[in-house]
Structure 1
Amino acid sequence: MSQKIDATDVTEEEALNAVFFERADEFIKQANDFCRPPKGKKTDPAELRGQVSAAMLFGTARFNTWVAANTFQTAEEMREAKQQVTSYVLQQFQMMLEDNYDEYCEQFENYLRFRKNEDFHAHKHDKKDGHKH
């Protein structure tokens, strides 16, 4: 039996957290879509994931730089705050990375249970003349 949640029961912080995770989920969904090989193309899944990861890192760096730039009046003011801004962003990234890394270690079998199927499907057409490679 599910319980209906009254909107008045949700705090502003909870609502902001929900929006935060919805946005994050949309970015992850987009990245997952980019990780699907184009139809008819044989692509190494690990290589494709690495390319998507690098693009996301670049996009995140570019976007965070733009967000920071919008808080300054001049380029000089921005230059002077570089260490403070980059330290903050790197600290936030490190905390998020460590939290997610720890979670994946705890849930490794759960989160990667489909990996064997992916490897099988990625390499099932590699056989020629009945020999395994």
Structure 2
Amino acid sequence: MKPEPDQAFFDRADAHIHLSNAQMKEAEVSVVSASMMYANARFSTWLNATLCRDAAEMAEHRDEAIHYFVNQFHMMLEDHFDDYQANFDRYMKPTP
């Protein structure tokens, strides 16, 4: 069983979101989103590489690693969609 994320986990995630929000002053939201996904894919691949002895081992575990990262993103995305659907008016139409 994985431990529950602590406050530092959410603080790090918020820091990435704040950076993306700042970048939207200079770029379209879709481009900022694509940049964030690209960075996450690059970082996740690097992380996986650090766990391998060599390229052959990395290739051997390629599909398993990709499945893990895609599955984790999928679950997180579903959770956030459910949260936004349940709280749409509060999140998207804040009162002044």
Where does structure 1 lack aligned partners over 5 or more consecutive residues? Answer: 1-12, 38-42, 115-133
Partners of 2:77 and 2:48 in 1: CA distance:
21
**What is the CA-CA distance between 1:31 and the residue it aligns to?**
0.6
Is 1:54 matched with 2:29?
A: no
Is 1:107 matched with 2:87?
A: yes
**Which has more radius of gyration?**
1
Write the letter of the residue equivalent to 1:112. M
Is 1:24 matched with 2:39?
A: no
**What is the CA-CA distance between 1:35 and the residue it aligns to?**
1.1
How high is the sequence identity, in percent, across the aligned residues? 37
| Among candidates 24, 27, 41, match of residue 35 of structure 1 | 24
Normalised TM-score (structure 2):
0.89
User: Which ranges of 4 or more aligned residues in structure 1 deviate by more than 4 Å?
Assistant: none
CA offsets 1:67-126 (integer angstroms, 9 cap, x no match)? 000000100000010011000001100010000011011111111126xxxxxxxxxxxx
Higher helix fraction (1 or 2): 2
Aligned pairs, number: 92
Normalised TM-score (structure 1):
0.65
Where does structure 2 lack aligned partners over 5 or more consecutive residues? Answer: none
| Among candidates 25, 36, 46, match of residue 66 of structure 1 | 46
